[in-house]
Amino acid sequence: MTDLLTIDQLGPDGIREVMACADAMAEVCSRPVPKVPALKGRTVASMFFEDSTRTRTSFETAARRLSADVLNFSASSSSVNKGESLRDTVETIEAMGVDAIVVRHRSSGAPQQIARWADAAVINAGDGWHAHPTQSLLDVYTIRAEGRSFEGLRIGIVGDISHSRVARSNIAAYLALGAEVTVVAPPTLLPPHVEALGASVSHDLDAVLAETDVLYLLRMQRERMDQALVPSLGEYHRAFGLTLDRAKSLSGSALIMHPGPMNRGVEISPEVIDDPRVRVLNQVTNGVIVRMAVLYLVLASTASDGVAS
């Protein structure tokens, strides 16, 4: 495999391969000098056509820990604003000699299109409402690092399912590993044909809390508030936010996760953020580890594809 575009493309075996590789990367990250020369001489371009500080920083940190060179391209300061087409932009970057391209784009399917044009390995760092595979892989790693088995694990995903690539990729990853997934949202934030995602659906957070092993809160995208999908952020918080009372009805061994950035007082109450069950910073740490694994596997498998059998 030379591109990572979706979770479906990996399947359970591919997810486990990434996890096994991530274990080796976690060891590297635990060293006093967390750096190895594995990708020395390779160049990783991060092409972010949509703002994202944390995902870009995470990928670039991962690339540097493997000694790759990093070429940073952000659309806001680029020729995209001068009207250059996506294809011309990609071909220009590739002509500089890059081995992997990490793509974030507001349009679903953009990384797939770029993968068709580019010889370099393409890694999807989030496209539209479609997919965000490395987020799901780091979430799987975080749950697995707690010693939890996915078989029968009850995972609740709360929030704007409709506009969330994180939700789509995470549902795919959790189901592939045998977990039971429930999406919890008001009807206005569920996509049409939600049942096609393969998860159970609930509109009542209180009803599912006691039966949840992992509570995954999605970011409420403030920029969507003008679409009147929820009456107000305060109303959303009362119905679907993790309040102190709701945190009490969640099991003591449950995990609370969030892809960040968190809206305090919307998805989660400020007083719950310091709850010992919250794993948000572990997710960030594991993001670097898992992205190291993905960069390594994609580039190593590209190299081995070129070897005569």
Catalytic site residues? 54-55, 82, 104, 132
Within 10 A of 76 (CB to CB), how many other CB atoms are there?
10
| Residue among 19 and 233 whose Cβ is closer to another protein | 19
Smallest distance, Å, CB 127 to another protein?
Answer: 21
Q: How far is the CB of 278 from another protein (least distance, A)?
A: 5
For residue 153 the two structure tokens come to 């694990």
132 phi and psi, to 5 degrees? -145, 70
Q: For strands 255-257 and 214-217, give the pairing.
A: parallel
The reply to whether 297 sits near another protein by the rule CB under 8 A is yes
Binding to another protein by residue 161, rule CB under 8 A? Answer: no
Helix (H, G, I), strand (E, B) or coil at 106: coil
- Provide the token pair at 123: 């890694």
Please, which residue, 18 or 110, has the CB nearer to another protein?
A: 18
- Structure tokens belonging to residue 32: 């006093």
**Cα 203 to Cα 220: distance, rounded to the nearest angstrom:** 16
Q: Out of 147, 152, 192, 252, which residue is the one contacting another protein (CB under 8 A)?
A: 147
Binding flag, residue 73, another protein (CB under 8 A) = no
Span interacting with another protein, options 30-38, 86-94, 175-183, 194-202, rule CB under 8 A: 30-38
User: Applying CB under 8 A, which part among 16-24, 44-52, 84-92, 191-199 lies near another protein?
Assistant: 16-24
Instruction: Verify binding: residue 58, another protein, rule CB under 8 A.
Output: no
Stretch that binds another protein, among 78-86, 110-118, 144-152, 229-237 (CB under 8 A): 144-152
Encoded tokens for 139: 């979430």
Phi/psi of residue 37, each to 5°?
-85, 25
- Token pair for 177: 């590993």
Choose between 134 and 286: whose C-beta lies nearer to another protein. Answer: 286
Q: How far apart are CA 6 and CA 123, in angstroms?
A: 9
Q: Which of 107, 108, 75 is nearest to 89 (CA)?
A: 75
Q: Which of 28, 194, 225, 233 binds another protein (CB under 8 A)?
A: 28
Least distance in angstroms from the C-beta of 300 to another protein? 3
Q: How far is the CB of 104 from another protein (least distance, A)?
A: 22
263 vs 11: CA distance, rounded Å = 32
Our finding on whether 296 is near another protein (CB under 8 A) is yes
| CB atoms closer than 10 angstroms to residue 64 | 17
- Report the C-alpha gap between 287 and 140 in whole angstroms: 10
Residue 174 binding another protein, by CB under 8 A: no
C-alpha 29/C-alpha 37 separation (Å) is: 13
SS3 content of the chain, % helix, strand, coil (to 5): 45, 15, 35
The window from 83-91, 127-135, 140-148, 174-182 that contacts another protein (CB under 8 A) reads 140-148
Residue among 70, 71, 80, 145 that touches another protein (CB under 8 A): 145
Q: Counting beta carbons within 10 angstroms of the beta carbon of residue 233, is it exposed (0 to 12), middle (13 to 18) or buried (19 or more)?
A: middle
Q: Tell me which stretch binds another protein (CB under 8 A): 154-162, 175-183, 223-231, 271-279.
A: 271-279
Among 5, 6, 7, 38, binds another protein (CB under 8 A): 38
For another protein, the binding residues (CB under 8 A) are 1, 10-11, 13-14, 16-17, 19-21, 23-24, 26-31, 33, 36-39, 42, 66, 141-142, 144-145, 147, 273-276, 278-282, 285-286, 289, 296-305, 307, 309
